Structure 1
Amino acid sequence: GLEFPLVFLPGWEEGVFPSQRSMDEKGEKGLEEERRLAYVGITRAREEARISFAANRQVYGRWTSQLPSRFVDELPPANVEASSETGYYGGGPGMQQHGSRWDADPDFGGGYASPGWRRAQANQYRGSHPGRQPVIEGDGRLVAVSESSAASDYKRGDRVFHLKFGYGAVRGVEGNKLTVNFDKAGEKKVIDSFVEKA
């Protein structure tokens, strides 16, 4: 231990650390292994360990609300100097009931002073109404369809052009997915609607 003056430990959210997979596969034994890893990470710091977690995280292309890791609440308050609010209030259905004990700390929040945060505090913003998701409006358009049963107009040996990869030759066809050996970019898999015959 005590190898570095400052250690950064990001990603302390439930499901990330401790890992949901580890807990599902190994149960309590997996949780204890993750707790041991948390201890090892913290004890590498000689002077300061900075632990961070996110209220929202993009997982497989979708934004999800995250809860702080149970290990955050296990830290001894006498040894913790919290520097920003957790942001877990108003994050969506049920999120107001699942805060962190650090949310009640009066000193928690002293170091967070971005312009957006100050505006939100001035307007007394406390997140969206519980149970009601904000409406995001926008227009969508179909870019490509990926169905293995769809037949492609391309065949092996056809020359094609792709806006990003340039010219290439079709090496394989699987439904509407093409394996193309591009002259400059090498072999890539693309959907046939992204190329045109050259």
Structure 2
Amino acid sequence: MSEQSIKLGEFGFAGDDHVVPFDVDALDVRGRAVQVGPMLDQILDRHAYPEPVARLLAEVVVLTVLLGSALKFDGKFIVQTRSDGPVDMLVADFATPGSVRAYAHFDDERLQQATAEGADSPAALLGTGVLALTIDQGAYMQRYQGVVELDGSDLEEVARSYFRQSEQIPTDVRLGVARIVVPGEGGGAERWRA
């Protein structure tokens, strides 16, 4: 796994590879907005994953950064899936104050078959299994791990289920991942954006 960095925005500035916390007192709402680009390119380009695998891993990276950047101590936040789908493992870890690593394991033959059959949605590629969210506070501290079932839902819904069941905090998660064309030499280059 390769390690990349992300910046935590303290003053509400947005931009590439940033996390911006927000708070709406009148509505009793708080959260984080994550925008990643170059960091995601570095992680995904290093492994040359097929498009469907790269998209899934990008979603896991964004989810990991979104949740891990809320840690109020030095440590790690790790998101990992284990499933029976063509993409049988995804793992990303966020180490404070902002380094990120990620890796995917998949069965190329099953992935090609699923893609040919049009069964290449994130939920279909993951299949059934578990998603584990682990907080590691470092040496001399016990890890905390929450596990939620992968049941054919997408990662947004799985994250919502985790918060409903384990944390009992009303939570919404929205993930958006795409390749964009950046104008430039040679007619433009495709870059990841989430």
Scaled to the shorter chain, the TM-score interval is under 0.3
User: 1 or 2, which has the higher strand percentage?
Assistant: 2
Larger radius of gyration: 1
Structure number with the higher helix fraction is 2
